[in-house]
Amino acid sequence: MAKRLSIEVPDAFAWSETEVREMLAAHLYEHALLSLGHAADLAGLDKRTFAERLGKYGVSLFNHPPEDLERDLKNLRGHHR
C-alpha cells in the first residue's frame, strides 16, 4: 500500500516534480529509511538508473557505516563454513 502526499511550493521554486521525487528518494535512501528498490520506486526509476543518479544528490550507493559491513562479512563467513 502507498500513501499519496501533496505539497504546495512557491512559484519561484525551480525544481520539477521529478527532481523533487529523486531528491527525496535519495535522502531517504541515504538515511536508510528506504531500501534501494523502494527509493527507486519513489523516484520513478529502475534500480540501476536510481543508483547512477545518487551522486547527483551527493549520496553514495555504499552509504552504510563500516560496522554494518563488518557485521555482514562476519555473517557471510558464518554461513559458508
pLDDT of residue 25: 95
Q: How many whole angstroms separate alpha carbon 27 and alpha carbon 43?
A: 11
Predicted confidence at residue 46, as pLDDT, reads 94
Q: Convert 23-39 to b/e letters by CB count within 10 Å (16 or more is b).
A: bbbbebbbeeebebeeb
In the chain, the percentage of residues whose pLDDT exceeds 70 is: 81
What is the pLDDT at residue 80? 59
Q: What phi and psi, each to the nearest 5 degrees, are found at residue 10?
A: -60, 155
CA distance 16 to 54: 17
